[in-house]
Structure 1
Amino acid sequence: MKIFPAIDIKDKKCVRLVKGDFNNKTEYKMSPVNQAGKYKDHGFKNLHIVDLDGALTGETVNLDIIEKIVSKFNIKIEIGGGVRSFESIQRYADAGVEKVILGSAAIKDRNFLKEACEKFPSKIALGLDAKDGYLSVSGWKENSNKLTLDYLREVNEYGASRLIYTDINRDGMKQSPNFEETIKVASTSNCPVIISGGVSSINDIKKAKELNNQNIEGIIVGKAIYDGDIKLDELANELNA
């Protein structure tokens, strides 16, 4: 089971949002590059990064930070946040990231997702953010009126190489991930699934591993690390346990 410590970048700082709300954010002192170095020092091989400035503008605002992290630490990065064009995907690919996450743009325009998967084989991760079974888009401000599993069945053959499933009701709330719904998504998905949203303690990591689901590839841990609910040492131990 891969463990993805999370870094959310806003105004060149590490931040965490609650349920995607920009008005409900916590800023942390450590820079994104130093935070990535800390994760690398603890033995983590994967990072989940969201460019929140990119999510707001649709541009690769923090590309320089991403380039620095990749070149300095040789760590596998999945990056998302407002990726709405092939040019943005290309910039991230050139920077050396492992996966580029497409979210709202892919849900609003399935052809964009399909073409992106064709142009960038094995590079595209699909980010599905759901609330009460329905997909949300545009930084979770809009409900798409599309059931998550229905959308997934429609795009399953497009060739995404990873799926990141987030239950919005859990994100930043530290109430444990929605394992039940994630299992349904993993059972439907043609590609491996990452659990996201709500990790509250080391027990959530252990539970994810105990699922022993061959199509669940990993889990993202964010706020619980920053708030000290999960110590990096104990999280690192789970990598090798």
Structure 2
Amino acid sequence: MKIFPAIDIKDKKCVRLIKGEFENKTEYGMSPFEQASKYKDYGFKNLHIVDLDGALTGETVNLDIIQEIVKKCDLKIEIGGGIRNFESIKKYTDAGVEKVILGSAAIKDKDFLKGACEKFHNKIALGLDAKDGYLSVSGWKENSNQLTLDYLKEVNNFGVSRLIYTDINKDGMKQSPNFKETEVVANNSNCPVIISGGVSNIDDIKKAKELNNENIEGIIVGKAIYDGDIKLEELAKEIDA
């Protein structure tokens, strides 16, 4: 079970949102690079980053920060946030990130997802953000009217190398992830799945491990770290990949 501590970047700062709402934002004192360095010092190998500025603009706004983290921290990074074209994907892969996460653009345009998987082999992760079974897009402001599992069936053979499943109702709420729904997605996915949204304490990490589902690759931990509900030293003890 890979553990992905999370960094959300807005205005060059580490922030956390609740249910993806920009007006419901908490800023934290450490810079993204300082936070990534801290994760590295505790022995974490993987890192989940969302460029919230990128999500708003569709540009690789914080590319310089990502480049610095890759260069100096030696972490396997997955990056998402407003990635809507091949040029942006290339900038991130050239910077040395392990996976580029496509979300709204891939849901709105399946051909874009398919082309990205073909052009950037083993580099594309798919972010599926769902609310009540339906996928949401555009920073979770729009319902796509597509059922998660129906969409997954359509793109399952495109060559996506990782799937990140987020229950929006859980995100930032620290009420435990939707393990049940994540398992359903994992059982229908041709690629490994990451649990995202709602981790509240160390027991959630242990429960994720106990699922013993071979297609669940890891779990993302965000707000619970920043708010002190999970201590990095206890989370580090759960690292095994």
Would the TM-score normalized by the shorter structure come out above 0.5? yes
Matched, 1:72 2:72: yes
Aligned residue for 1:58? 58
Matched, 1:216 2:216: yes
Higher mean C-alpha displacement, 231-240 vs 129-138: 231-240
Alpha carbon RMSD of aligned pairs, Å?
A: 0.8
User: 2:93 corresponds to which letter in structure 1?
Assistant: A
**Equivalent residues in 2 for 1:8-157, closer than 5 Å:** 8-157=8-157
Identical amino acids, percent of aligned pairs: 83
User: 1:98 corresponds to which letter in structure 2?
Assistant: E
Residue 137 of structure 1, CA deviation: 0.2
CA distance in 2, matches of 1:202, 1:141: 30
Classify the secondary structure of the residue corresponding to 1:238.
Answer: coil
**Cα distance per residue 1:11-51 (max 9 Å; x no partner):** 00000000000000000000000000000000000000000
Structure 2 unmatched runs, 5+ = none
CA distance in 2, matches of 1:153, 1:132: 18
Residue 87 of structure 1, CA deviation: 0.1
Contact 2:202–2:235 (CA under 8 A) maintained in structure 1: yes
Change (3 A) 1:153 1:240: closer
Aligned residue for 1:176? 176
Aligned residue for 2:199? 199
Classify the secondary structure of the residue corresponding to 2:160.
Answer: coil
Aligned residue for 2:186? 186
Classify the secondary structure of the residue corresponding to 1:71.
Answer: helix
CA distance in 2, matches of 1:11, 1:54: 10
Residue 240 of structure 1, CA deviation: 4.2
User: 1:26 corresponds to which letter in structure 2?
Assistant: T
The number of residue pairs the alignment matches comes to 241
Q: TM-score by structure 2 length?
A: 0.99
Residue 163 of structure 1, CA deviation: 0.0
Aligned residue for 1:167? 167
User: 2:170 corresponds to which letter in structure 1?
Assistant: R
Contact 2:2–2:240 (CA under 8 A) maintained in structure 1: no
Residue 4 of structure 1, CA deviation: 0.1
